[in-house]
Amino acid sequence: MPQPKPKQPIVIAIDGTSASGKSTNSKLVAKALGFVHVDTGAMYRTLAWYCLEHKIDAHNPKAVAAACRRWKTMLKCSEHHAYLTVDGYYPEKEIRTAEVSAAVPHVAAVPKVRDWMKKTQRDCIKFGSLVMEGRDIGTNVFPETDFKYFLDAQLEERSRRREAEGVQENLAARDMRDSQRAAAPLMIALGAKVINNSHMTSEQTSGTILADIRNRLNERKARA
């Protein structure tokens, strides 16, 4: 059953490593609570797709930052899902290609891009309570939220999940890039509940998150 709508919007931050189940579990949690789901990685992918479409070198930080300043985007929300459109178009399928996957870590490492994304992602609060997945939600985008979760799994298990999706990706290299970038590196947020789901199903993982959220909400009510 969806939770009653709170007076003040709540942000559930679900961060984690690649293939740790962020997308699947954040969608399950958002559906269970009746909150809006925000895939922040898809926003970076949208910019990577835009750069590829306009022949902008994803390895050139200045060119990528300039593109981020001038592209015509709008935040939209439909069916409890927030996303970016470009010139009125949502490239839902295009942002999942191998080419975009290869470009997005370089685009996401640009400090000016992360600044732009942070402001845009914080603007999603206008849609109501959020379940927001990414790599820096609890540390950078909404550090003030009380609801922070960090998902992880053993490298072998995460690699197996990627292969099952038909995706070949060097996750160890991706982890290193994400954790060592200068702008908003991947790290566990202060106060985050860490969940290693190497041997858990999606239902068990999302169930663990939901149980913790509901306990915290009940504690809030008791204190009110």
The pLDDT tens digits of the residues spanning 111-141 come to: 999 999 999 999 999 999 999 999 999 999 9
The confidence band for 183, taking pLDDT boundaries of 50, 70 and 90, is: confident
**Residue indicated by tokens 């990414």:** 134
Q: Which of 110, 128, 146 is the last residue of a domain?
A: 128
Q: What secondary structure letter does DSSP report for 89?
A: B
CATH for 69? 3.40.50.300
82 contacts 37 by C-beta, under 8 angstroms: yes
186 contacts 40 by C-beta, under 8 angstroms: no
The pLDDT tens digits of the residues spanning 40-97 come to: 999 999 999 999 999 999 999 999 999 999 999 999 999 999 999 999 999 999 999 8
* pLDDT of the residue at 170: 78
* pLDDT of the residue at 74: 97
Tell me the sheet residues that pair with 149: 14, 193
pLDDT at 167 over 90: no
Which residue range(s) make up the domain with 121?
40-128
* pLDDT of the residue at 72: 97
Give the span between the Cα atoms of 139 and 188, in whole angstroms: 7
pLDDT at 108 over 60: yes
* pLDDT of the residue at 13: 98
* pLDDT of the residue at 2: 53
Let me know whether 137 and 101 are in one domain. Answer: no
Let me know whether 119 and 153 are in one domain. Answer: no
Strands 130-134 and 11-16: parallel
The confidence band for 22, taking pLDDT boundaries of 50, 70 and 90, is: very high
Q: Which of 104, 128, 152 is the last residue of a domain?
A: 128
- Within a domain: 102: yes
The confidence band for 182, taking pLDDT boundaries of 50, 70 and 90, is: low
- Within a domain: 17: yes
Characterise 133 by phi-psi region: left (phi > 0), alpha (psi -120 to 50), beta (else). beta
* pLDDT of the residue at 111: 94
151 contacts 20 by C-beta, under 8 angstroms: yes
14 contacts 131 by C-beta, under 8 angstroms: yes
Q: Provide mean pLDDT across the span 8-32.
A: 94
Which H/E stretch holds residue 39?
strand 36-39
Give the span between the Cα atoms of 139 and 71, in whole angstroms: 27
Using alpha carbons, select from 75, 79, 74, 76 the residue that is nearest to residue 35: 79
Buried b / exposed e along 55-94 (16+ C-beta atoms within 10 A): ebebeebebbbebbeebebebeeeebebbbebeeebbeeb
Residue-averaged pLDDT of the chain: 91
The confidence band for 19, taking pLDDT boundaries of 50, 70 and 90, is: confident
- Would you state the structure tokens that stand for residue 30, as one six-digit string? 């958002």
Let me know whether 145 and 218 are in one domain. Answer: yes
